[in-house]
Amino acid sequence: MSGWKDNIRQVVPYVPGEQPKIKNIVKLNTNECPYPPSPAVEKAVADYAKSDLRKYPSIACAELKDALKKTYPVTDDMLFLGNGSDEVLALCFMTFFNSEKPVLFPDITYSFYDVWCDLYNIKYKRVPLNENFEIVPEDYFVENGGIVIANPNAPTSIFMPLESIENILSRNRDVIVIIDEAYIDFGGSSAVSLLEKYDNLVVVQTFSKSRALAGMRVGYAMAGKELVDALEAVKNSFNSYTLNSLSQAAAAAAANDIDYWQDCCNKIKATRQRLIKELDALGFDTLPSSANFIFTANKNIDAKSLFEYLREKGIVVRYFNKPRINDRLRITIGTDEEVNRLLDEIKNYIKR
Ligand SMILES: *Cc1c(COP(=O)(O)O)cnc(C)c1O
């Protein structure tokens, strides 16, 4: 009886930050954009909804690819689109990491990477960040079955210069190196400029953060044609229509509105600078951020207790109960008003 239980796949899933139902919440826990998407998005979705929903989505995604080509130096056959960059990354792991040697990624990084490795039975090794929470390129000059690096890294917010990425790429020509650029628009420079030189590079980006479309689930990879063809073949062996029509329309509209996108990024960067400065005055030590979040600690404050205090006040940030980082909070950059509320409550906490 219940012998079927033996045949059920057991996995430990990734747990995303919560989406709590709190009135008047200041939600600074999942790195969403605090501003709405470009006004062009609403119109594009409404227009599409009126016309063509009875049809399957476009597989070519031509409109969205045309929009992306305005910003990135790539051709259609170098673009792979998916249902959020999580899906794009999952398909990259399935497609590119098929070695007996371990895949390498930092010990402190996006906690989905080890989940996908476990899902696909990919061997992996965590490479420790240095004491400043930086990636050490030389640590990746060892035999491996592939490399995945978030740049800027999460939750550290630190950007690794492109020269270091290039060092890693040039010393790993026989494996695929994935650079996950979910936060690249908030301060770093993209590795897309290295695609011409390195056929082992895959750059993954998302519409969820800087383009304010987390709910639409759109992500993309940029790589040489051979790698994109391999990704397409794997995807089409699983689900040909990963990216729905409304998401394609929304993402194309967002990608075409370059001014609005840059404006959002600039506002977030300005708010980030102010938040770091004000926290500094309160005795916090914040890592240098190139992302839309900060990773901060205060040696006089217990991070978990501050996290819980803020939550009671309706301000939700992220606390990771993990070695090396359990004295820190990851705080998404909100609007200026949200950040003011956060700072007020931190001051209240200190005053208690
Ligand atoms: C947010 C995030 C993603 C995934 O974003 P999607 O919403 O799935 O596009 C991927 N990598 C990192 C490091 C992220 O923080």
pLDDT digits (tens, 9 = 90+) for 108-165: 999 999 999 999 999 999 999 999 999 999 999 999 999 999 999 999 999 999 999 9
Beta carbon of 251 within 6 Å of any ligand 1 atom: no
Cis amide linkage into residue 152, ω under 30° from 0: yes
Fold (CATH) for 3-36+259-351: Aspartate Aminotransferase, domain 1 (3.90.1150)
Structure confidence at residue 17 (pLDDT): 82
Beta-bridge partners for 205: 220
Q: Best mutation site among 108, 180, 210, 220 for ligand 1, i.e. most ligand atoms within 8 A of its Cβ?
A: 180
Structure confidence at residue 2 (pLDDT): 84
Helix ranges, 52-200 (H): 62-69, 84-96, 113-119, 162-170
Q: Indicate if 39-256 has the same CATH topology as 3-36+259-351.
A: no
Q: How far is CA 60 from the centre of its chain?
A: 24
Q: How far is CA 246 from the centre of its chain?
A: 22
State in Å, rounded, how far the first CA of the chain is from the last one: 59
Q: Where are the domains of the chain?
A: 3-36+259-351, 39-256
Question: What's the 51 CA to ligand 1 centre distance in angstroms?
Answer: 31
- Tell me the C-alpha to C-alpha distance, in Å, between residue 95 and each of 122, 181, 293: 11, 19, 31
Q: Letter for the amino acid at 210?
A: S
Beta carbon of 72 within 6 Å of any ligand 1 atom: no
Are residues 87 and 242 in contact, defined by beta-carbon separation less than 8 angstroms?
yes
Question: What's the 182 CA to ligand 1 centre distance in angstroms?
Answer: 5
Q: How far apart are CA 146 and CA 102, in angstroms?
A: 7
Are residues 90 and 84 in contact, defined by beta-carbon separation less than 8 angstroms?
no
Question: What's the 2 CA to ligand 1 centre distance in angstroms?
Answer: 38
- Average the pLDDT over 347-352 and give the result: 96
Residue nearest to atom 15 of ligand 1 (CA): 182
Structure tokens, 5: 């239980």
Question: What's the 206 CA to ligand 1 centre distance in angstroms?
Answer: 7
Q: Best mutation site among 29, 86, 148, 157 for ligand 1, i.e. most ligand atoms within 8 A of its Cβ?
A: 86
Q: How far is CA 88 from the centre of its chain?
A: 11
- Tell me the C-alpha to C-alpha distance, in Å, between residue 86 and each of 15, 25, 112, 212, 219: 13, 26, 8, 16, 8
Per-residue model confidence as pLDDT tens digits over 292-330: 999 999 999 999 999 999 999 999 999 999 999 999 999
Indicate if the pLDDT at residue 60 is higher than 90.
Answer: yes
Report DSSP state, residue 342: H
Structure tokens, 282: 């309160």
Indicate if the pLDDT at residue 65 is higher than 90.
Answer: yes
Structure confidence at residue 85 (pLDDT): 98
Question: What's the 115 CA to ligand 1 centre distance in angstroms?
Answer: 14
Task: Give the number of the atom of ligand 1 that is nearest the alpha carbon of residue 219.
Answer: 9
Fold (CATH) for 39-256: Aspartate Aminotransferase; domain 2 (3.40.640)
Q: Letter for the amino acid at 115?
A: V
Are residues 26 and 314 in contact, defined by beta-carbon separation less than 8 angstroms?
yes
Q: Are strands 79-82 and 219-223 parallel, antiparallel or unpaired?
A: antiparallel
Residue recorded with tokens 């930050």: 17
Q: Best mutation site among 148, 208, 218 for ligand 1, i.e. most ligand atoms within 8 A of its Cβ?
A: 208
Q: Is this prediction's pTM over 0.85?
A: yes
- Average the pLDDT over 63-92 and give the result: 98
Structure confidence at residue 22 (pLDDT): 83
Per-residue model confidence as pLDDT tens digits over 81-114: 999 999 999 999 999 999 999 999 999 999 999 9
Indicate if the pLDDT at residue 343 is higher than 80.
Answer: yes
